[in-house]
A and B are shown apart, each in its own frame.
Chain A
C-alpha cells in the first residue's frame, strides 16, 4: 500500500489531495473539494498523462519547428518521447497538424506540427 500526494490543477485553489493506492488501484482518496478535483486526482494518481510540446530540427536552417503530441501521453514517457523527437529532421514545407512522427515511443500518439513553415 502506498500513499501519494498531489496538487490539483483544476482551479487556483490548488487543493492538496492524498490517496492510498494498491498498485495502481485507488483504495481511498481525500482532500478534494469538488468533482473536478476528484476526477483529476483519480487520473493523476494512477496513470498521469501530459501533453508534450517540443521543438524539432528543420533541414537547412537553425530555426526549429514547434510540435506537439496529438494527445496526452503517459508522464513517464516524456523524456523518451523528447529523445525520439530529437533524432528527427523535417523538410519544408510543413503544415499545421501534419503528422511528423507516427506512434511516438509506441504510445499510439503522434507528433504533429503546430506551425506553418514554408
Chain B
C-alpha cells in the first residue's frame, strides 16, 4: 500500500505531488491522458491574477492572493519563466468608474496590495497602443504572466526527482474504501493508498462523487483564444483586462512570457468535457470584444487559435480539503480560474493537511531546486559555443521559428515525466509553437521521437491515442521483388 495517490496531472496535481515529496511518503500520481498538463493547464490565459476579482471570503480569493505571493519564489526555485508585468482592468467609458472602485475595494478586502485607479494620461503613457475609447483603469501591480505548462512540468520533474512515481494513460475507473485506505482501479493497474488527493480538474466531480455523498458538479466552460505573432509582442506591456461580466473576466489582451500576444477567452458552457474545438462564433466574438482594447488587431499575423475548458463548479468556488464523509480523501475540486495562480498555495495547503493526517516526517534531503532545459535561444554566443562543445546536438537547430535545438528535444524526452509525443515536445521546448506551426520541424521531430522511444515513425503520435501522423511507407523497406 502506498501512502498518497494523487489523481490528475495538471498544475494542481503536480504541485501537490511536489509539495508532498517534501515528506517521507510513498507517492504516486495517476494521469488519465498520455501526458501531464493536458487539461486546463495547457489552455488558459497564463495570468498570475492579482486577486481582486474573486468574492471576498471565498477560497478563490484566499488562495489567489496566497498563490500570487508565492509565485516569485516558486518560479525561481523551479526555473519557470514568469514576469510581473502588472494587470490593467480597463473601462471604456465614464460609467465604469464605480465598478472599478468596487473592484479595488474588493481587492483590498481580499488582501491585494498596490491597487490604484489611473486615468487617461497615465493609462496612455503606460499603454500607448490601447484603444481610443479606453477611459480609466484599475492598475494591479502584483499582476503577472507565467508559462502554465512549464510550471506544471517543473512541479512534476521536481516531484519525480524527489521520489514521486508518475503514471500516464492511467484513467481512474473506481475508488473504493477498503481496510486502511482506498483501492483505486485504473487503466494502468490497481493501487491501494492510505490517502487519495483528487486533483482531476474537469473530472474532479466524478472522482469525488465516487466516494462522497457531498456531491458536486463540474460544467465545462469553454474559452477560445487567438495567439498573435511575436512581431507584435511589444504592443502592450501589462495584461489588459476589460471590466468583468457575469460570465467571467472578459476578453483579455496580454503579452506572454514567450513574447507572443494572447487574445481571449470567451466563456461558453458546454456539455462535452472533451470538446476543445474552436468555433467560428467563438473566435469572431474574441476579435469583436478584443478590438476595444486593440483597435488594429493584425489579422494576417495570427499564429494559431485554441480553446480551453474551465472546470466550473456548481458551487462556484474551489472545494479544498478532506471530504466530510470520506476520511483520507482530499479534494482540489472545481479548480478553474484563478487556479493557475492559486496552485502553489493549494499545493502547500493540501500537502500539509495530508502529511499531518499521515503523521509524516519531513525529508532531510528534499531538493526544491529544478533547472529547466538550457535554452539555446536564450544563450549568449559564448554559452552556445560551450553548450555545443559539451553536447554537439546543440549545434543542430530543429525548430527554426523558435530556435530550438536537437539537444533540447532529446533532453525533453529523457527528463523525468518526459515527452512521448509531438505535443509533449512542443510544450517542453516550444518546438512547433512558432509561426510556421511545426511545418518545418515535424519530420525531424518525428524521427527523433521514433529513435529515442524505439518505435517506428509510423507509431509516433501528436498527443497519444489515435493521433498518429503517418499512414505507411510508400514501399516496404528494401525488399527486392522480381518483376
Contact = CB atoms under 8 A, between A and B. Distances in A.
A and B from one assembly?
A: yes
Nearest to A101: B483
Contacts of A55: 474
B481 A64 contact: no
Chain B contact surface mostly: loop
A64 B474 contact: yes
Interface stretch (A37-45, A84-92, A110-118): A84-92
Interface size class of B (residues with CB under 8 A): under 10
Interface residues of A, number: 13
A60 B479 CA distance: 8
B483 A62 contact: no
Interface string A70-103: 0000000000000010111100000000000000
B480 A64 contact: no
B483 A57 contact: no
Interface in A31-79: 55, 57-62, 64
A102 to B, nearest CB: 12
Given A64-B474, A64-B475, A59 B480 contact: yes
A57 B483 CA distance: 13
A89 B474 contact: no
B479 A62 contact: no
Given A84-B483, A88-B483, A60 B475 contact: no
Contacts of A86: 475
B189 interface: no
A61 B478 contact: yes
B9 to A, nearest CB: 35
A62 B475 CA distance: 7
Contacts of A59: 478, 480
Contacts of A62: 473-475, 477
A87 B478 contact: no
Contacts of B481: 87-89
Interface in B433-483: 473-475, 477-481, 483
Contacts of B483: 84, 87-88
A83 B250 CA distance: 59
A59 B478 CA distance: 4
Interface string B179-218: 0000000000000000000000000000000000000000
A52 to B, nearest CB: 16
A64 B473 CA distance: 10
B480 A89 contact: yes
A88 B473 CA distance: 15
Interface in B243-288: none
B474 to A, nearest CB: 6
Nearest to A89: B480
A91 to B, nearest CB: 8
A52 B475 CA distance: 19
B457 to A, nearest CB: 9
Contacts of B478: 57-61, 89
Nearest to B480: A89
A27 B358 CA distance: 97
A89 B478 CA distance: 8
B456 to A, nearest CB: 10
A94 to B, nearest CB: 15
Contacts of B479: 89
A58 B473 CA distance: 12
A93 B64 CA distance: 66
A57 to B, nearest CB: 4
A84 B479 CA distance: 16
A76 B220 CA distance: 56
Nearest to A60: B478
Nearest to A59: B478
Residue of B474, B475, B479, B483 most packed against chain A (CB within 10 A) = B475
Given A57-B474, A57-B478, A84-B483, 11 more contacts: A58-B478, A59-B480, A60-B477, A60-B478, A62-B473, A62-B474, A62-B475, A62-B477, A87-B483, A89-B478, A89-B479
4 smallest A-B Cβ distances: which pairs? A57-B475, A60-B478, A89-B480, A87-B483
10 contacts: A57-B474, A57-B475, A60-B478, A62-B474, A64-B475, A87-B481, A87-B483, A89-B478, A89-B479, A89-B480
Interface of B: 473-475, 477-481, 483
